[in-house]
Amino acid sequence: MSSKTSEFFLGARAIMPHHLGVFPFGLVFGVIAMTNGFSVLEAILMSSIIFGGASQIVFVQLWAAGVPSFIVGSSVAIVNLRHLLYSASLKKYVENLPLRWRLVLAYLLTDQSYSVMVQRYRAKEISQFSHYYFLGSGITLWAGWQLATIVGVLGASFISTEWSLTFAVSLTFIAIVAPLLKTRSDLIACLVAGVLSIALQPLPWKLWLVVAGLGGIAAGWIASTINKKNRDLE
């Protein structure tokens, strides 16, 4: 097997565990889209056009609640901010690839493929074909997401809320966030965002999401700045 194909399949295999969270997530998205009055075509194509679980759920909920379009757009943008970080972090591995590769890999960049790629690049041997690993993991996740969306959309009336599938969505995010909590300022960012997300629930247009996100980022950053100053003084 050439190392292009083997990298591709290793990537596909590495991302498999994430389907345990992604599949229920896609189902939930399909069901939520249908119960909020989206058409079959709108719901299914959204998974290709946006291809981001959290963004799609936020989009559907805000749109159905009659929130103004620019607030829908800003909320999706805030939810997406983390991709900027992923993009910056993987930049050095992809910057010498041809444009078509960079376009495709950017489209396939998700929380899951990022976490798989970071581990791949940390490995001792970096193959010159490791972008095939990225492609393999990305396409596999994409296919799983599309399949889950279709099953969710078509099976919306059969899928019971008693199965607690929305909880699987929270669990996928817990699996991503918990390993990121390493320093005191990480913990502060997490706590502030969590408290604000509950305290600000009365805000209109579900703005609590945007404000709690930005508040958590600011808190973590301020805490790290203060911490650094204290260390400099010692």
Partner 1 sequence: MIWFVMIIAGMITFSTRFSMFNKFIAQKMPAWIEAPLHYVPIAVLTAIIIPEILIVDGSINFSIVENLRIAAAGIAILVALVTRNVVATIASGLICLWVFQWLL
Site for partner 1 in 173-202 (CB under 8 A): 173-181, 185-186, 189-190, 192-194, 196-198, 201
> Rule CB under 8 A: is residue 59 a binding residue for partner 1?
yes
Please report whether residue 137 would count as binding partner 1 according to CB under 8 A: no
Among 118, 143, 155, 221, binds partner 1 (CB under 8 A): 221
Helices 130-154 and 99-107, axial angle in degrees (round to 10): 40
Task: Report the distance separating Cα 22 and Cα 90, nearest Å.
Answer: 22
3-class SS of residue 88: helix
Residue 93: Cβ within 10 Å count: 17
Do 25 and 56 touch, CB atoms closer than 8 A? no
**Surface-to-core class of residue 172, CB atoms within 10 Å of its CB (0-12 exposed, 13-18 middle, 19+ buried):** buried
Q: Which is nearer to partner 1, 3 or 201 (CB)?
A: 201
When asked if residue 55 is in the footprint of partner 1 (CB under 8 A), the reply is yes
Stretch that binds partner 1, among 3-11, 86-94, 122-130, 143-151 (CB under 8 A): 86-94
- In terms of CB distance, is 5 or 36 closer to partner 1? 36
Binding part of the chain for partner 1, among 128-136, 139-147, 150-158, 213-221 by CB under 8 A, reads 213-221
135 binds partner 1 (CB under 8 A): no
128 phi and psi angles, rounded to 5 deg: -70, -10
CB-CB contact of 123 with 4 (8 Å) = no
233 near partner 1, rule: CB under 8 A:
no
Q: Footprint of partner 1 on residues 24-53 (CB under 8 A)?
A: 38, 42, 45-46, 49-52
231 is an interface residue for partner 1 by CB under 8 A: no
Tokens of 168: 């699987």
> At residue 118, what is the residue type?
V
Which is closer to partner 1, CB of 21 or CB of 26? Answer: 21
Least distance from partner 1 to the Cβ atom of residue 1, Å = 27
Segment interacting with partner 1 (CB under 8 A) among 5-13, 18-26, 123-131, 152-160? 18-26
Using rule CB under 8 A, residue 146 touches partner 1: no
Would you list the DSSP string of 100-154? HHHHHHHHT--HHHHHHHHHHHHSS---TTHHHHHHHHHHHHHHHHHHHHHHHHH
- Does 72 help bind partner 1 (rule: CB under 8 A)? yes
* Cα 91 from Cα 73, distance rounded (Å): 26
